[in-house]
A and B are shown apart, each in its own frame.
Chain A
């Protein structure tokens, strides 16, 4: 029983992390139809920048803010100077983000070296909590909490704020939104900023328990894709459900069938695809 509870909590914390990654990916797709392969690189760069900042300042919060700011700026530049030039050329955009993903991967290897590293767990949660017979690291509970807060905030933003309404309008009908005087270009840049920042945030949050190492970017991006394939591209609820499902399946896969761990998660993906080709909450 304890095994199942601990593994479920592990899965949930991993799911929360995946949500930070996949929600941005999904929202960017919903608005711009861009599948951003360098989203995994944002996660990796966020983790590495966070690592350096934690080492330099000893402050986890400063690491988060710094990583989010730098990676957010990278995302904005990519969108403004490159992706905006290939407007509506979906295939060219994907190829471009793939090229950037390789560049970021190699630059990260160059700057931070090839050894696996770990961001130290912030002091106040660097301990274990005992809930009845179950002992669980407090940090992972924090990650679950953060994931839930971000999900609620994103939902409130999308449904209850004026800018959120503008985003929804732009997602539904871009030309009509432009006609109504909504500056869609600026919304696109803002969404890219938000998506990149969320991924970098995820990178720093994941650093203490997943570690940071070369190749992590291309390891997480298929997981994020699995989330949006299951949940449906462009849907926030889909990202929530997909993240939880992928997080749990991946974690139980690792615990029960270590040799097939990475592969197990493609089974729910295949099942969902067989029944709903555009995901559980996908459009069309």
Chain B
């Protein structure tokens, strides 16, 4: 175990060092895609808190991302506030929205949760699309200024923006990894496996679900804040169900229930979308086909598929234990743990 933690720390530190030097080694276009990966990675990681860790699939996660981006857009272009105020404002809007929507969504379970979040998300889209006097309607909000740090280097340079985004991304990763490994994070996994058992154990499961819903919404909002500053333009497309569905795809593509998976998924989706847009305008079709293929053939995502291959390879290399030797670990899996509790 100690050894594993040591290897992990070295890997993470190495990864951070590589990311620090990367924009000087790769073409500017890839720096652009990496910034987008970090931004969408924030949305995907926060969605994974709900999907992978708690077992609640939200189809409206772009709402918090978009609302925060809109808040930044409105605060900077109309009221010309300092960027830190705009950032805070964006986070507060996402937080408040999650507080209100969470009350409606977290009372429901599985499928109901999914369609309620979808409907609420599209409600926000309707607001962005029709509330023209505030949101600019279909034209969106152009001309959001990049943050002025008061330092000699300007954030209109993508490389500097890269470091700005990376800073928040790294901080969020650190916080989220502490969060999912905390006792509270573990209780969420317990709820995912069997909510009724957790309730019997004395956990206030609704409060846990509500709390993680609000945290997820706020972190999605952080992604939206950075997106507004980087993209300098917000439009209804950013809160559309397509954006929410892309976030879900990032999570399942990378592998739900890990923190790194959704970031990988975000990277794949960002690269795929940009690569494909060079050849064809049929992104939506390809998104749909990817969805179907992943669901049918790789439900565990890329990481899940790699783990599967890895463990199969390892099983081949290590000889099967002889009876009476080390007791083999037997993993018990039940299709539906709730059912058993109910029948006994």
Contacts and interface: CB of A to CB of B under 8 A. Distances in A.
Contacts of B288: 99-106
Contacts of B108: 273, 277-278
A75 to B, nearest CB: 16
Interface in B114-167: 114-116, 118-120, 122-127, 129-133
A205 interface: no
A260 B199 CA distance: 40
A134 B292 CA distance: 50
A94 B111 contact: yes
Contacts, number: 132
B296 interface: yes
Contacts of A266: 119-120, 123
Contact of B252 (A95, A107, A222, A262): A95
A3 interface: no
B242 interface: yes
Main secondary structure of the interface of A (DSSP, over half): helix
Interface in A57-104: 82, 85-86, 90-92, 94-96, 98-104
B284 A106 contact: yes
Contacts of B116: 225, 229, 273
A186 B103 CA distance: 39
Contacts of A225: 115-116, 118-119
Nearest to A34: B111
A103 B283 CA distance: 10
B140 to A, nearest CB: 16
Contacts of B85: none
Interface in B263-310: 282-285, 287-292, 294-296, 299
B14 to A, nearest CB: 34
B337 to A, nearest CB: 15
Interface residues of B, number: 46
Nearest to A282: B112
B289 A94 contact: no
Nearest to A278: B112
Contact of B292 (A35, A82, A270): A82
A218 interface: yes
A103 B115 contact: no
Main secondary structure of the interface of B (DSSP, over half): helix
A105 B284 contact: yes
A94 B59 CA distance: 10
A229 B119 contact: yes
Contacts of B338: none
Quick one: which of A82, A96, A258 has the most chain B CB within 10 A?
A: A96
Contacts of A155: none
Given A90-B111, A99-B292, A269 B130 contact: no
A226 B119 contact: yes
A260 B127 contact: yes
B57 interface: yes
Given A225-B115, A225-B118, A266-B123, A259 B110 contact: no
Contacts of B285: 102-103, 106-107, 110
Contacts of B242: 102, 218
Q: Which 5 A-B pairs have the closest CB atoms?
A: A262-B126, A99-B291, A102-B288, A103-B288, A222-B122
Interface of B: 57, 59, 103-104, 107-108, 110-112, 114-116, 118-120, 122-127, 129-133, 240-242, 245, 248, 252, 282-285, 287-292, 294-296, 299
Given A35-B115, A103-B292, 14 more contacts: A96-B292, A96-B295, A98-B248, A99-B292, A102-B285, A106-B282, A107-B285, A218-B240, A222-B118, A225-B116, A266-B119, A270-B104, A274-B103, A274-B104
